[in-house]
Amino acid sequence: MSVHALRKSASSSFVFVGIGLPIEASAPAYQSHGTEGSHLTNITNTKKAFPVLAVNYEHVRKPFEIALWILLALLMKLGFHLIPRLSAVVPESCLLIVVGLLVGGLIKVIGEEPPVLDSQLFFLCLLPPIILDAGYFLPIRPFTENVGTILVFAVIGTLWNAFFMGGLLYALCQIESVGLSGVDLLACLLFGSIVSAVDPVAVLAVFEEIHINELVHILVFGESLLNDAVTVVLYNLFEEFSKVGTVTVLDVFLGVVCFFVVSLGGVLVGAIYGFLAAFTSRFTSHTRVIEPLFVFLYSYMAYLSSEMFHLSGIMALIACGVVMRPYVEANISHKSYTTIKYFLKMWSSVSETLIFIFLGVSTVAGPHAWNWTFVITTVILCLVSRVLGVIGLTFIINKFRIVKLTKKDQFIVAYGGLRGAIAFSLGYLLSNSHQMRNLFLTAIITVIFFTVFVQGMTIRPLVELLAVKKKKESKPSINEEIHTEFLDHLLTGVEGVCGHYGHYHWKEKLNRFNKTYVKRWLIAGENFKEPELIAFYRKMELKQAIMMVESGQLPSVLPSTISMQNIQPRAIPRVSKKREEEIRRILRANLQNNKQKMRSRSYSRHTLFDADEEDNVSEVRLRKTKMEMERRMSHYLTVPANRESPRPGVRRVRFESDNQVFSADSFPTVHFEQPSPPSTPDAVSLEEEVPKRPSLRADIEGPRGNASDNHQGELDYQRLARCLSDPGPNKDKEDDDPFMSC
Amino acid sequence: MGALQSLPDEPEYRDLSEKTGFSFEQIGILHKRFKQLSHNEDTLRRDDLNTIPDLSCNPIRTQIIEAFFDKRNFHQNGEGTVQEISFEEFLVVMSHFRPPALDMTEEQREIIRREKLRFLFNMHDTDNDGTITLEEYRHVVEELLSRSGALGKETAKGIADAAMLEVASISMGHMEPDEFYEGITFEHFLKILKDIEIETRMNIRFLNMDTTNLCKVNRAYPDCTSLTKYTDKLLESCLWFGFGLL
C-alpha cells in the first residue's frame, strides 16, 4: 500500500484511535514545584505545563496502519465463519473481495484516496508465504507422477492462451467500430501474456474448499505454480519489445533460451538453498528453538536471490521447499515441525486474506477506462482459449499417459483455471507510458472478478452435479504404506523383467543415489540409514502416543477390542498365578529403578526440553511397554510348576537410560484396549524427570551378561529375558542404529 | 506355441491378444524379450530371470520371480508352482500389469482391481491356504526392509504385527480376547487396500516400439552400484525419459 495515500486517510479517519498512544509518565513530584516556581514561569514564559498525556501518532503510523489492516482482514475472516450458511455457498475469496470493495468505497466516501495493491509489497511480502506453504507441503508422489502433464499444461497451455488471446484481441482492435485502433500487436500480446496465467493464490483459495480428487487438484495446482516461468519470460519479452516496437527472429530465439534459463535457473537456485537448509538443519540438535527460522529464511533468500536475477522466484521457492523437506524433517524435532507447519499456514492465510481485500480496494481506487467490447471479449476469450487449450492438450497427452484423463477431469481442469492477483500486479507494474494501461487494468480486474466470483462459486455445485471423484479422507494406514512400497519394488522388478527403463526404474535409481550419497551428508546422526517405512511407522506411533496423552486415556483409533493376543499364534498354557505375580513384581521394581536413574531437567533458554508432550510420550511408552510385557509374559512363558521361585536379587535387569534402543516388543502397541490384568501396577511414580533428547527411551532390554549361577535360574532368566526382548538375549545383539527420536 | 519367428504370427498372436488384451506389437516385443531371456528356448526358467541385473538390487526379487512361476497367476485355476513357463504363461502374468482402458465401466474396473489385488495376494500367500498368516506377513515386511541393515528384523516384526492388528481391527471389529484371527483372507485384503486405487497404480508402460536392442546393455554390467553404469544407461534411455515423465 502506498504510504502517502494512507497518511491522509489515516490522519482524518483514525485519529480517534490515536489517543490511546504514548502516554507519557506523569510526574507528581513536579506539581509541588508549581506554586513556588511561579517566578520561574515569568523567566521562561514559553514553558508549557509538563505533558501528562500526549499524542504522537506519527511515531507509530506505519506499523500501526499495517497492523490495523491485518487485524481488519483477520476479523473479516473470523466473521465469515461465524455466519453459518455463508461459507458453504460462497468461497472465502469472493467474500474478501467484497469486503475490500466496501472498505475501498468507504475510504473514497470519506474523501481520501484508497490505497492500491503495491506491486512491490505484493511480490516481496505477500506472495512468498503462500508459495512456500504450497511448495513445502506439496504432495510429492502425485506431483512427480504427473510432472510431464503438468509441464505440458503449464508451458504449452500458457503459451497457447497468451498468443490466442493476444492475437484475437489484436484482430478485434483492428475493427474500426471498437475504437481501439491505436493498440498494436505487441501491446495485445503483452496483455495476453499477463492475463493468461492461472493464478496459484486463487486456485488454492477455491480448490481448498472443494476437496477434489488428488489427480485433478495436483494438475491445476501444479500448473499454476509452474507457469510462472513462462509468465515471467513472456512478460519481460513483450514489455521490452513493445518499447522498441519490432521483433526479430533472433529475439524470439533468445526468448526461448531465456525461458530455459529462467525456469531451470530458478529451480537450481532453489535447490541450492534447499540443500543449504538441509545441511544446516543437520547441526541444530542443540538449538532447537531456532530451527524453524532456518527453514523460513533460507526459502525467502532463495526467492529473493532468484528475483534478483530475474529468474522465476516461484519455482525457486517450490524447489527449495521440495528439496529441503525430507532431510529437514528427518533432523528437526517434532515441535519444530509443528511450528513450521503452523507458521506457514498462518502466514499464508494472512497473506491470502490481505491480497483479496486489497484487490477489492484497488478496484475502487484504480484508474479505470472502460470499453465494453474489449472487456467482454477478453472474458469470453479467456474461457474459450482455456477450454480449447485443455481439450487439445489432453488429446495429445492421453496418448502418452498410462492413466488417461477423463472428460470430467478435463472439465474441472479447464474450469479451474482461475486468474488472480498476480495478473493484477503484473498489470499494475506496467509503466504509464503504455497508453492502454488503464484499459488493460480494467480488463484484468474484470477477468479476475469473473473467474473468482462466477467460476469460484459455481465450481462446487458443478463438482457435485458431475459427481467428480472427491479426495479420499483416509488416515495413514500402515498397510497402505507397506503396500505402496511393495508396489514400487514390484513394478520396478517387472519393468526389469520387461527390459525397458520406465518410470519406476528411474525412481528407484534416484532413491538409491539419494540413500547412498545424499542422505549421508544431510541427515544428522545415524538416521540416514533408516528406511521410509520405519520412519513412517514411528511417526504414526508418535502421533498415537500424543493423541493418547491429549485425550487422557488409552486410545481406540479403531474402536475394537482386538489386541495383540488375538493375532499372535496360540501360546503355551498360562503360567501359575504365583509365578506371574513374582515376575510382575520384578518388572515393576526394575522399572522404578529405571525411572530414578533418569536425569533431572534443567531450565535453559536455549534449549527446548522435552516438556509436556514428549515427557508424556515417553511416560506413555513406558506404561505401554509395561502392559505389553505383562501380556506377553502370560502368553509366552512356559514355566513348569515345580521350578523354584527366582531370587529377585540375582536377576537384576539392568537399565541403561541413555542412548539405548527400545526392544521390538514395545512396537506393536499401536492399538490398545483398556488394561484388565488382575493387578495393575501403578506404583511407578510418573512425576520423575525424563532424560534429555535423544535418549527418550528407557532401555528395557534383556540383561546383558548377567547370567546367574544355577542352571534352573538360568533357564528362568532366559525365559524372563525372552519376554523382555524377543528373540532372546543375544549378547551380540546389534543396536547400533539409534532410532530417530522424532 | 513356441515358434521362433521374428515376424508376428497372426493366428497365434490373435489368440494371445484376445486372452491377455495386449496389442500385436506389444506381444511381438514381449516375445522378443522372452526369447532373449530364455536364450532362444521355448520355456523360461527361474535362473533365466535370476540373471537380470536390474532385479539383483530389488529387495523382493525372490517373490517377483516366484510370481512368474506360480500357477495361480495363470488364470487356469491351477495351484502350486512350475519349474518353467511358456510364452503364453509369461504373457498372462504380464497382463496383470496392463493399465485399464479409458472407457471402462465401474464394474469392469472392479474386476480389474480384484485381479490385480489377487496377484498381490498370491505373492504374499506363499503356502496357498487362502489366508495371509502373521508369519507370512512378517516375511513380506522383512524382505522389504532387508536392505536396510541390522535394524530390519526387529522392526519388521513390529511393523508386521501392527499391520496385522490394523487389518484385524478393520475387518473384524470386535473379537473376544480368546478368539484368534487366523489370517488375512482375500476379502479382508480387498477391504484394507480399497483406498489405494490399485487399478491406476499397478501398471507399467508396455511400449509399442522395439526396445529390446537397448537391453543388450543389461548384460554388460553385472553389479548395480557402479556410477559408470548409470551414465551409460542414462545416455541410451533418454528416449524413454520423456515417456516416463508423462
Cell (9 digits) for B180: 484368534
Q: Residue B97 is nearest to which of A404, A494, A567, comparing CB atoms?
A: A494
Contact yes or no for A227/A155 (Cβ under 8 A): yes
Other Cβ atoms closer than 10 A to B226: 11
What is the identity of the amino acid at A536? F
Q: What are A536-557's pLDDT values in tens digits?
A: 777 777 777 777 777 765 544 4
Rounded to whole angstroms, how far apart are CA atoms A565 and A570? Answer: 8
Q: Which CATH number fits domain B11-245: 1.10.238.10, 1.10.260.30, 1.10.10.10, 3.40.47.10?
A: 1.10.238.10
Q: Does residue A79 have a pLDDT over 80?
A: yes
Percent of chain B with pLDDT over 70: 74
Contact yes or no for A566/B168 (Cβ under 8 A): yes
* Residue entry with cell 479476475: A448
Contact residues on chain A for B147, CB-CB shorter than 8 A = 531
Query: Which of A396, A470, A479 would you mutate first to test chain B, the one with the most B CBs within 10 A?
Result: A479
Q: Does residue A620 have a pLDDT over 90?
A: no
Contact residues on chain A for B169, CB-CB shorter than 8 A = 558, 560, 562, 671
Contact residues on chain B for A216, CB-CB shorter than 8 A = none
The answer to whether the predicted template modeling score (pTM) of the entire model surpasses 0.80 is no
Contact yes or no for A501/B212 (Cβ under 8 A): no
A33 three-state secondary structure = helix
What is the identity of the amino acid at A49? A
Q: Is B176 on the interface with A (CB under 8 A)?
A: yes
Interface of B with A in 41-80 (CB under 8 A): 49, 52, 54-55, 57-61, 64, 68
Minimal CA–CA distance to A613: which of A333, A284, A325?
A333
Secondary element (H or E) of residue A134: helix A127-136
A522 — pLDDT class (breaks 50, 70, 90): confident
Minimal CA–CA distance to B2: which of B97, B95, B85, B98?
B85
Q: Give mean pLDDT, residues A112-126.
A: 81
A305 three-state secondary structure = helix
Q: Does residue A306 have a pLDDT over 90?
A: yes
Are B211 and A568 an interchain contact pair (Cβ–Cβ within 8 Å)?
no
Pairing assessment for the beta strands B44-45 and B84-85 based on DSSP bridges: antiparallel
Q: What's the distance, CA A145 to chain centroid?
A: 20
What is the identity of the amino acid at B27? I
Q: Give mean pLDDT, residues B35-56.
A: 82
Radius of gyration of chain A (CA): 33
Which segments of A398-477 does DSSP mark as H helices, in order?
407-415, 421-429, 437-449, 456-466
B240 — pLDDT class (breaks 50, 70, 90): low
Q: Does residue B225 have a pLDDT over 80?
A: no
Minimal CA–CA distance to B1: which of B14, B52, B25?
B14
Q: Residue A529 is nearest to which of B148, B179, B205, comparing CB atoms?
A: B148
pLDDT value, residue A344: 92
pLDDT value, residue A631: 61
Minimal CA–CA distance to B203: which of B87, B54, B96?
B96
Identify the closest residue of chain A to B205 by CA–CA distance: A402
The alpha-carbon gap from B10 to the nearest alpha carbon of chain A, in Å, equals: 22
Are A533 and B203 an interchain contact pair (Cβ–Cβ within 8 Å)?
no
DSSP assignment of B57-89: G-TTHHHHHHHHTBGGGGTSS--SB-SEE-HHH
Identify the closest residue of chain B to A500 by CA–CA distance: B211
Give the range with max mean pLDDT: A16-20, A182-186, A333-337, A340-344: A340-344
Contact yes or no for A115/A130 (Cβ under 8 A): no
Rounded to whole angstroms, how far apart are CA atoms B84 and B81? Answer: 9
Are A485 and B144 an interchain contact pair (Cβ–Cβ within 8 Å)?
yes
Q: Does residue A15 have a pLDDT over 50?
A: no
Other Cβ atoms closer than 10 A to A696: 18
